[in-house]
Amino acid sequence: GENVEQHPSTLSVQEGDSAVIKCTYSDSASNYFPWYKQELGKGPQLIIDIRSNVGEKKDQRIAVTLNKTAKHFSLHITETQPEDSAVYFCAASRGGGGNKLTFGTGTQLKVEL
Amino acid sequence: DGGITQSPKYLFRKEGQNVTLSCEQNLNHDAMYWYRQDPGQGLRLIYYSQIVNDFQKGDIAEGYSVSREKKESFPLTVTSAQKNPTAFYLCASSTDNSGNTIYFGEGSWLTVV
């Protein structure tokens, strides 16, 4: 089955700096890669996703890049703000029946003033 | 408001008891899912359902049961056979089973006392 590894497990940045979180996946058939943000005690919220026919996608301060050859994808947050502090999860799936997402273990991002 | 509603938010269970977590969605989504989240870990799939009256086991189905009698409802029963049930449970749904985005509810905390 699919295996998703996520690094780092914790990340601390100064407000205004950029943050990068990286994930690798094992299943070359995976074609859908979402990123979720989870605040304490709440459900994960989708912040951006990318499909395997695209190499990069951007939404304001957030961007995701995908390298299918190397089987890794990354989340980039620019101009970080205190409200960006949360746990971020990457995930991968083949799509298809059940769209069974396999999640990384999460990155605790802390944006310091 | 459209969305996924989980209840209760907090639940305490005595050892040996079964408990049922409710999940209702008014998004007209075909597929629904249950994930379990343990501290410092990613989300693991318990069960999923692609259509009414049908469901499949995920990666950690032992000790759990589900039903899907209505499109909008997908309750999860944590049985006494689940040896370590204390966790955060997340219900999710998606428009279909071909790789579309999964949206999560706000979660239910289950504690065994």
List per-residue pLDDT tens for chain A, 113 residues long. 889 999 999 999 999 999 999 999 999 999 999 999 999 889 999 999 998 888 999 999 999 999 999 999 999 999 999 999 999 999 998 876 556 789 999 999 999 99
Contacts of B44 in chain A (CB under 8 A): 103
- pLDDT at site A104: 94
Q: What is the pLDDT of residues B57-104, one digit of tens each?
A: 999 999 999 999 999 999 999 998 888 899 999 999 988 655 568 899
Dump the DSSP string for B21-84: EEEEE-S--SEEEEEEE-TTS-EEEEEEEEETTEEEE-TT-TTEEE--SBTTB--EEE-TT-S-
Query: Cα–Cα distance between B92 and B58 in angstroms, integer?
Result: 13
Is A37 an interface residue toward B (CB < 8 Å)?
no
The answer on pLDDT for B8 being more than 90 is yes
Nearest to A93 among B56, B99, B107 (CB): B99
- What mean pLDDT, rounded, does chain B reach? 91
- pLDDT at site A108: 96
With tokens 């999923």, the residue in question is B48
Q: In A, residues 39-78, which contact B (CB 8 Å cutoff)?
A: 41-46, 49, 51
Is B42 an interface residue toward A (CB < 8 Å)?
yes
Interval B5-14 mean pLDDT: 94
The answer to whether B102 touches A34, Cβ cutoff 8 Å, is yes
The answer on pLDDT for B1 being more than 70 is no
Reading the block at residue B86, the tokens are 């204390």
Q: Which residues contact A19 (CB under 8 A, 6 or more apart)?
A: A11, A13, A76, A77, A80, A84, A109, A111
Please calculate the CA angle A53-B92-B57 and round it to the nearest 5 degrees.
90
